Structure 1
Amino acid sequence: MRRTAARLLTGIALVGAAAAPAWAGTADSLDVYPSTVVPGSHVTVNTAACGDKGGSATGDAGAVGAGTFMLAPTTHEGEAIGQFEVPESAQPGTYEIVAKCAEGNRQVAGDLVVALSAGHEQVQPRGSLKTGVGGALGPGPVQTAVGVAALAVAAAGGTWLLHRRARGDRI
């Protein structure tokens, strides 16, 4: 029993140690939070690429229309952080946000996705998708009712023919 518990605790510790770097900012990327926004939202970016002591950097969000912004060292070991606002005029799409370290000319990038908005509420797509598979319902209630009626007539006719055949009646 003790051996099983020790193995379990060792496994949990190894999984936790392996997952820890995934939660922290990586030295070769620019982390964008949140990664999907609507126009008018504030975005925070951070990176550990600018040195062990958290050097500063200049960010460029010009692709989305937000211009440049500064990344400053934080209390987190080796990280720099900055913020910018996505303009209300931003179009939906994926944009590359870039940060260039003040020392060493190192450059890192991350992706920002701008979604459709109505007010500040995300709009869900509507309509059907032509996949070639077909569906249970037609494009409207009239077509659905006609399809159900056709299936009912076919089922009733098939049942009547099988009943006659079982009785031995000729068709």
Structure 2
Amino acid sequence: MRRTTRLLTGTALAVAAAGGIAGPVYAEDGTGGDLRIHPATAVPGGSVTVDTAACGESGTAAGDAGAVGAGRFTLAPGAHGGEAVGEFRVPPSAQPGTYEIVAQCARGGRRITGDLVVTLASARQPVAPRGSVKTGVGGALGTDPVQTAAGVAALAVAAAGGTWLLHRRARGDGI
């Protein structure tokens, strides 16, 4: 019995130490990585949304994207209860790299952070082309029905004449 108790206690402590039972651990100064950034990878000129539940119910926060050159922005209570949401635009002059985005809760002064990756290539899926492609093939006569009929008639006369000449040659009449 004593052996089983030790085994279960040891297993429970190992799971708790691995993070299976215990929640996230934060530094003493209130720093944490609870700032969610969407999209996590952005291109210069792109719009980025930031949200957090770390500031509590109907909490607000002051955001700072100065590391990427976007400056300050505000996080206000969003449509989902308990989340503060804000938005900023990555400047067109932003260089590729990873930037720390910071927010500080209005109540309690908790500082939360998240990482934004700026790339030059868009992570979006390629879009299939739509519409016509101007290749220079076709449409030489335009869309005028009279010109189209004249072209078809000219081709019919040429085909009939070619067939007649081939038929004469096959009979041996010559040209």
TM-score in terms of structure 2 length: 0.50
Post-superposition CA distance 1:64-106 (Å, at most 9, x none)? 0000000000121210000000000000000000010011000
> Would the alpha carbon gap of residues 28 and 115 (structure 1) be closer, same or farther in structure 2, given more than 3 Å must change?
closer
Q: Distance in 2 between matches of 1:104 and 1:73?
A: 16
User: Aligned partners of 1:89, 1:69: CA distance in 2, in Å?
Assistant: 18
Structure 1: where are the runs of 5+ without partners?
Answer: 1-26, 123-171
SS of the aligned residue for 1:63 comes to coil
Query: In structure 2, what residue type is equivalent to 1:62?
Result: G
1:115 and 2:116 are equivalent in the alignment = no
- Contact 1:48–1:54 (CA under 8 A) maintained in structure 2: no
Q: Distance in 2 between matches of 1:88 and 1:28?
A: 26
Asked if 1:101 is matched to 2:108, the reply is no
What residue number does 1:133 align with?
Answer: none
Distance in 2, matches of 1:59 and 1:34, equals 16
1:16-55 equivalent positions in 2, closer than 5 A: 29-51=34-56, 53-55=57-59
Are the counterparts in 2 of residues 59 and 100 from structure 1 also a CA contact under 8 Å?
A: yes
How much is the aligned-residue C-alpha RMSD, in angstroms?
Answer: 1.8
Deviation at 1:28, TM superposition (A): 5.3
- Please give the alpha-carbon distance, in whole angstroms, between the structure 1 residues aligned to 2:98 and 2:33: 20
SS at match of 1:62: coil
Q: Tell me the number of residue pairs that the alignment of Structure 1 and Structure 2 aligns.
A: 93
Within the candidate set 58, 65, 73, 2:62 is matched to 58
Distance in 2 (CA, whole Å) between partners of 1:91 and 1:76 is: 33
Deviation at 1:54, TM superposition (A): 2.4
Matched residue of 1:64: which SS? coil
Q: Could you tell me which residue of structure 2 aligns to residue 141 of structure 1? A: none
Bigger Rg, which one: 2
Deviating above 3 A after TM superposition, structure 1's stretches of 4 or more consecutive aligned residues are none
- Percent of matched pairs sharing the same residue: 63
Which amino acid is 1:30 matched to? L
TM-score by length of 1: 0.51
